[in-house]
A and B are shown apart, each in its own frame.
Chain A
Amino acid sequence: ETGVTQSPTHLIKTRGQQVTLRCSSQSGHNTVSWYQQALGQGPQFIFQYYREEENGRGNFPPRFSGLQFPNYSSELNVNALELDDSALYLCASSLTSGLSTDTQYFGPGTRLTVL
């Protein structure tokens, strides 16, 4: 059984650019959530995807968007990057059954630096 993987590990972009981060879910999981962790803070929920549809969203602007693919892998896209977008981006996968979602398991994260 493979765990959650993310790519790339590190990324440097300049303000105004666009970025795509990738995540492969743990085997058997059908739900993926994305979080942003700024320095010294806890992870903040960006959004969640289930069955290729956005299933819930935190307090993030529309320039943060995502995709989930039939194999349950996922992408996070951020447009018009701002300096404050510099953070660790975490992907978590879980199994949704009925109305509840099981424990979320996290990948190692992608460190994004915006200059």
Chain B
Amino acid sequence: DQQVKQNSPSLSVQEGRISILNCDYTNSMFDYFLWYKKYPAEGPTFLISISSIKDKNEDGRFTVFLNKSAKHLSLHIVPSQPGDSAVYFCAASARGGGADGLTFGKGTHLIIQP
């Protein structure tokens, strides 16, 4: 029973264009959502997060949108750069990331084409 789903295993985007990564969740108790980026042979690196009381959070080239009624969130990267090529994980938690830990999706491999 996957509570966090990333339905696109991979995504190819041209450099300079917008990358949109999607994530769906089923657990209505989730109230905090995060995106992590992972390069091979490294641990996940925190990118951006959003609390369920907001519907948008922006940090430089990265924007996360949350649609609570649809239980859907997305990460927008604009403009996409070659260094953005990595696996992106969506994660969710209840109680602000407390003792239940983070629940991750399976990841989306983003490939930025020159």
Contact = CB atoms under 8 A, between A and B. Distances in A.
Contact of B96 (A50, A101, A105): A101
Chain A contact-residue range equals 20 to 34
A108 B107 CA distance: 17
Contacts of A92: 43, 102
Interface residues of B, number: 26
B89 A58 contact: no
A103 B49 contact: yes
B49 A4 contact: no
Given A102-B97, A103-B34, A106-B36, A43 B42 contact: no
A48 B103 CA distance: 13
B102 to A, nearest CB: 6
Nearest to B34: A103
B43 A108 contact: yes
B7 interface: no
B44 A56 contact: no
Contacts of A109: 42-43
B41 A48 contact: no
A96 B4 CA distance: 24
Interface string B41-83: 1111110010000000000000000000000000000000000
B8 to A, nearest CB: 14
Contacts of B34: 103
A44 to B, nearest CB: 7
Interface string A5-43: 010000000000000000000000000010100001111
A42 B107 contact: yes
B16 interface: no
Interface of A: 4, 6, 33, 35, 40-48, 50, 55-56, 58, 90, 92, 94, 96, 99-109
Interface of B: 4, 6, 34, 36, 41-46, 49, 89, 91, 95-107
